Amino acid sequence: APVSLLSRFRGALAAAVLGDCVGGEFEGAEEVPLDRVLQHLSGLEDETRGDGILQYSDDTAMMRCVAQSLLTRMGFDEQDMARSFAKEYSLAPGRGYGSGVIQVLRKLASPHLNDVFQPARAQFGGRGSFGNGGAMRAAPFALAFRNVADVMRYARCGAMLTHSCSLGYNGAVLQALAVYLSLQGDLAIPQKFISKLISEMEEMENDETAHNDAKVLKLAEFPYCARLHRVKELMEQNSVSIEEVILKLGNGIAALESVPTAIFCVLHCLEPREGLPEHYGGLERTIAYSLALGGDTDTIACMAGAIAGAHYGIDVIPQSWLKCCEGAEEAEQLANRLYKLYSIMQTEG
Ligand code: R7I
Ligand code: MG
Ligand code: MG
């Protein structure tokens, strides 16, 4: 049966939280044997584990702020979103935030701040952060706006509240775009999906600031497009090793080293793969595969989860897995509310 749009909305946010919660176990691990991943995941089926035993991290905390702010303001309001991030951080500073972004979040709490984008611009010697913190929370933008230009524009602005380097905010744009296309059912034709991502990112990266950042950081001229072309090449290969994925796409905390990787995880797991249990569906494969890459596992699984969840919908996510994740239920509720907002926008044109 076709997957309803509401099911896709709920799947996107719930699977993002799932990825964050189950990925926390391996964050920063260099190599994660598949056996350990599968053991970790099958442990979630144990009834005695109790509700919400796996805590969410900064990825989910900030994604919730984005969704909440888009809902209460019925659109993007930078002041409100900035305040929401700052408040969330002050209430729960121990969620594993990046070491740089903490300074931004502290400054955003100041009542005397006029320009909410200024603290982000002061990061890392004035170039801004290229971390994946903008991308990890970008999914709700794809659920809040009808057309692709708005999704991209506001995902960019929302990321710039903490990540002013083009590598940081363009990673967020790419992640929001991937979720958006997945919601539309575009993953049914993977080649079309990746080609659309490349053509949109060609436009995003055709920009003086982006070219300059790429040059300073000694990257290809169109860094995201270059990575997406590698994703395409890996898709065309008969077999791909974990080592090759890490080498060609990365698994690190930089947005460039993780957003294209998350996209690859989803595409690679559309089909059954050797080493992954036969009873796993695509969503379960995507989560397991993301963890097996090691590195920034919570964030890569969170981003891959959002894209995959938007494709498969909520109904195929194992209930036992969701039950173990703190905040999974709230994510579904936020998705329900975003769906309502989306429906209103649709009728009003
Ligand atoms: O990007 P950010 O919010 O971190 C997100 C990550 C996710 O994995 C979360 O799960 C959490 O664990 O953290 O936080 P930032 O502090 O902006 O960036 C993360 C890290 O990337 C920084 O602490 C730096 O180590 C590195 N980094 C940079 N290093 C040098 N120069 C980011 N930008 C730069 C840079 O310009
Ligand atoms: Mg985290
Ligand atoms: Mg992380």
Start-to-end Cα distance in the chain: 28
**Alpha-carbon gap, residue 4 to 341, rounded angstroms:** 16
- Mean pLDDT, each 10-residue run in order, the chain (349 residues): 95 99 95 95 84 93 98 98 98 98 98 96 97 98 97 98 98 99 98 98 98 97 98 96 98 98 98 97 98 98 99 98 97 98 76
Task: Give the model confidence (pLDDT) of 80-95 as tens digits.
Answer: 999 999 999 999 999 9
**Residue 46: its pLDDT value, please?**
83
Residue of 129, 258, 290, 296 with the most ligand 1 atoms within 8 Å of its CB, for mutation: 129
**Residue 346: its pLDDT value, please?**
67
The closest alpha carbon to 14, from 254, 314, 319, 239, belongs to: 314
Q: Is the CB of 135 under 6 A from ligand 1?
A: no
DSSP letters of 320-345? HHHHTBTTHHHHHHHHHHHHHHHHHH
- Ligand 2 midpoint to CA 1 (Å): 35
**Residue 349: its pLDDT value, please?**
46
Q: Is the CB of 166 under 6 A from ligand 1?
A: no
Task: Give the model confidence (pLDDT) of 274-332 as tens digits.
Answer: 999 999 999 999 999 999 999 999 999 999 999 999 999 999 999 999 999 999 999 99
Contact between 296 and 20 (Cβ < 8 Å)? no
**Alpha-carbon gap, residue 136 to 131, rounded angstroms:** 10
Q: Is the CB of 154 under 6 A from ligand 1?
A: no
**Residue 1: its pLDDT value, please?**
76
Q: Is the CB of 200 under 6 A from ligand 1?
A: no
